[in-house]
Amino acid sequence: GMQPIIATLILMVAGRGIAQLITDGQIITIYYKPFFFLGGGYLLGLPFSVFIVVAVFAALYLAVTRTALGLFVQAVGINPTAARVAGVQARRLIVAAYAFCGVCAGIAGLLISSNVKSADGNNAGQLLELDAILAVTLGGTALTGGRFSLVGSVIGALIIQTLTYAIYSLGVPPEINLVVKAVVVFVVMLLQSPEFRAEVGVLVRRPGVQGASS
């Protein structure tokens, strides 16, 4: 019954703290070359990490489009109470969804750790949660739940990387990149708000109404 964003923040802070306890706050350098292949290796001329992403995406896409899982996830996201009354095991589905997200986060952590050739509980993956939120919102996923797009999320992630590389290549300070991402998330959240869209619609229509009445 806890708010999802609160649970996420708590576990994020706790997870990073546990990682620092395990490593005594030190950056552990890795010398195992096969491990480097995960994040830095190439297969058929493409980064091996791309094949991992494609495999995870394909498995999830087939699960949500070729089975009833996608319908159940949307139903629980829109109205968990109604979904539970309709016979959907809402609590089990939510736990399973969180568990799968945890597995994906673990895979991402392995890729990052392999790429930097170290286990850094202090800085590795820091602020990537903002990129994750931005990717799904740009992809058309409703932050209120119920509507999502896997393909859109991938496109959103590609847009973020393009934006990041463009800012870096222009010589703009990295701090500006964070500000731009935060602004984009804020704008997307406003656009997803029915109240905000209604208010903007009223302001847009108001001059026309006044002109017609005059």
Say if residue 211's pLDDT is above 70: no
- In this prediction, residue 176 carries a pLDDT of 78
Say if residue 108's pLDDT is above 60: yes
- In this prediction, residue 109 carries a pLDDT of 86
CB neighbourhood size of 50 (10 A): 12
**Single pTM value for the model:** 0.72
Q: Average pLDDT in the 94-113 region? A: 87
Rounded Cα distance between 152 and 141, Å, is 8
- In this prediction, residue 185 carries a pLDDT of 73
- In this prediction, residue 199 carries a pLDDT of 77
Question: pLDDT tens for residues 39-80?
Answer: 888 888 888 888 998 999 999 888 888 888 878 888 887 777
